Structure 1
Amino acid sequence: MAGLDAFGTQLQRGNGAGPEVFTAIANVTDITPPALERETIDVTTHGSPDQWREHIGGLKDGGEVSIDINYDPRLHDTLVADLDDPNPRNYKVVWPGTLGDWAFKAILKGFEPEAPHDDKLAASCTFKVSGKPVLNPGI
């Protein structure tokens, strides 16, 4: 197989209740899932073999998630309100079909709407991942 169609991928937002209910964020046109990173720590010494730097793994970071949406203030007021919440919320990137999901906690850190005179209302949202994202494989 050469690849998989991304059409139908969703970013879902948890409501914080128990049991938690996840709802797809409306009108998403593009999703960039968590960009995982790991710091490296330089442990080079004067005795490092052949003067090559040596490194070990440091802290890991879930990075950021970004989405672009066809902005509708009536549908996206919840996202704007999330900027006031300092606590991480549960989200999921749900892959199409039975491919599973990627669950994570995040804080909405940016909401940028735009209203060009010759195009649609749109917005870009950026979420900072808090803690370890969990990949739940599909079938």
Structure 2
Amino acid sequence: MAGLNGFGVQFKRGDGAGPEVFTAIANVSNVGGPSLSRNTVDVTAHDSPEGWAEHVGGIKEGGEATVDVNYDPAAHDTLIADFNDVDPRNYKIVFPDPDATTWSFAAVMTGFQPTAPVDGKLSASLKFKLSGKPTLS
């Protein structure tokens, strides 16, 4: 298989209700992340073979997810509530593959940056810091 077209990916926001309903954020033009990473712990000892440093896996980090949108104040300014909220909210990234692969995670919005060029489209970049383990399904 050569690859998949990214057209049709959705970034969805949970409403916090039970059962939770997820609604796609409108006019998404680009989605990045989550940017998973892992720290390492140095376990080098005086008897490490031939003086080479040794490491084991440490704490895992969900990193950030980024979303770029064709900015529509009426559709996107409601997301300022997410920025003002200190508690994580649930989000999903749904991919357009045949299985509708989904990353689900809790995150705190850490950035909302609209851009309004003189000769171009309104856009905005949104950043989300993951909290806890993301789920891939």
Is TM > 0.5 for Structure 1 vs Structure 2?
A: yes
Contact 1:33 1:66 in 2 (8 A): yes
Residue 85 of structure 1: aligned partner? 85
Residue 118 of structure 1: aligned partner? 119
Q: Separation in 2 of the partners of 1:132 and 1:41?
A: 20
1:46-82 alpha-carbon deviations (Å, 9 max, x no partner): 2211111100111111010001110010000221221
Amino acid at match of 1:105: A
Amino acid at match of 2:102: D
**SS of alignment partner, residue 83 of structure 1:** helix
**SS of alignment partner, residue 50 of structure 1:** helix
Map 1:1-139 to 2 at 5 A: 1-96=1-96, 97-136=98-137
Contact 1:33 1:93 in 2 (8 A): no
Q: Separation in 2 of the partners of 1:7 and 1:18?
A: 30
1:88-116 alpha-carbon deviations (Å, 9 max, x no partner): 00000001143321100000000011111
Displacement of 1:19: 1.0
Displacement of 1:45: 1.7
Unaligned residue ranges in structure 1 (runs of 5+): none
**SS of alignment partner, residue 119 of structure 2:** coil
**SS of alignment partner, residue 111 of structure 2:** strand
**After the TM superposition, which parts of structure 1 deviate over 6 Å for at least 4 consecutive aligned residues?**
none
Of 78-87 and 125-134, the range deviating more from structure 2: 78-87
**TM-score of the superposition, structure 1-length normalised?**
0.94
**SS of alignment partner, residue 84 of structure 2:** coil
Unaligned residue ranges in structure 2 (runs of 5+): none
